[in-house]
Amino acid sequence: MKTTIHYQSNIYKVDLSQPLDISIPLQASGKNVNVWSIEEPKIEPVKSRNWKGSVKAGGSVNFNNIYFNPHAHGTHTECIGHITEEFHSINENLEQFFFTAELISVAPENYMKDTVISKHQIEVLLKGKTPEALVIRTLPNTKNKKSRHYSETNWTYLTEEAVVFIREHGVKHLLIDLPSVDREHDGGKLLSHKAFWNFNGERRMDCTITELIYVKNKIEDGSYLLNLQIAPFVNDASPSKPVLYKLIE
């Protein structure tokens, strides 16, 4: 269904029948994506003295408990409460769910023993565009991102300078296909998280970081409408389902 959307004094054409889901689903399996050296997620039926929440096991309905960590087990969206002493909930801080977005693909650069995404790369790829959301796909882009166990792999991260540029460029929602915008072992500095939320200045309470997305290769770089869907968790982070819609010229 093609439709015209009026958004912030601009007019966009989108086809709402062509959603592009860039989330990684959560499954109770060792094949589930995993970070921070914790156990795999579990989905199992509730058990009582004489009843089991499984139709297969004779129950009237399937009635499962789910045990997982949003930061470790799949696509998740976090608010500034992820790094503050005081409590802040993603459910309260994220009040809008549609944003203009730009998808860029980046081949990380070597930096000492690390691989990083630099300010120069972001600046060149954005080409002066000022989207509300920036979606970063790292290269090479392989399907094992959906099941990779990232712990102790020293994954690619964003330099603090790159994130300051992203913030000053007006991006309010940052999405990336990595476990974190920061280095795996950084001594708790969290330089990129703090830079994005302007932690030591006027904090950006309505801005979010979404990690562990997966953008298929067939989805082209360019401009999109982003629908950032979260579960209504009263927590610093929530599992999320970001969906892109290609903007039609």
Tokens 């959906």 belong to 146
Q: Is 50 a member of any domain?
A: no
Q: Is 141 a member of any domain?
A: yes
Q: Residue 98: helix, strand or coil by DSSP?
A: strand
Q: How far apart are CA 181 and CA 184, in angstroms?
A: 9
What parts of the chain have a pLDDT lower than 50?
none
Domain interval for residue 194: 2-24+73-248
Q: Is 46 a member of any domain?
A: no
Q: How far apart are CA 69 and CA 16, in angstroms?
A: 31
Q: How far apart are CA 207 and CA 16, in angstroms?
A: 25
Q: How far apart are CA 230 and CA 74, in angstroms?
A: 12
pLDDT of residue 10: 76
Q: Is 100 a member of any domain?
A: yes
**How many domains does one find in the chain?**
1
42 to each of 36, 67, 69, 86, 230, how far by Cα in Å? 16, 5, 10, 30, 20
Q: How far apart are CA 133 and CA 226, in angstroms?
A: 8
Q: Is 148 a member of any domain?
A: yes
Q: Is 41 a member of any domain?
A: no
| Structure token digits, residue 97 | 């769910």
Query: Which residue from 141, 109, 140, 111 is spatially nearest to 122, judged by alpha carbons?
Result: 109
pLDDT of residue 3: 75
CATH number of the domain where residue 203 is located: 3.50.30.50
pLDDT of residue 12: 82
This prediction has a pTM of: 0.96
Q: Is 90 a member of any domain?
A: yes
pLDDT of residue 51: 94
Q: Is 6 a member of any domain?
A: yes
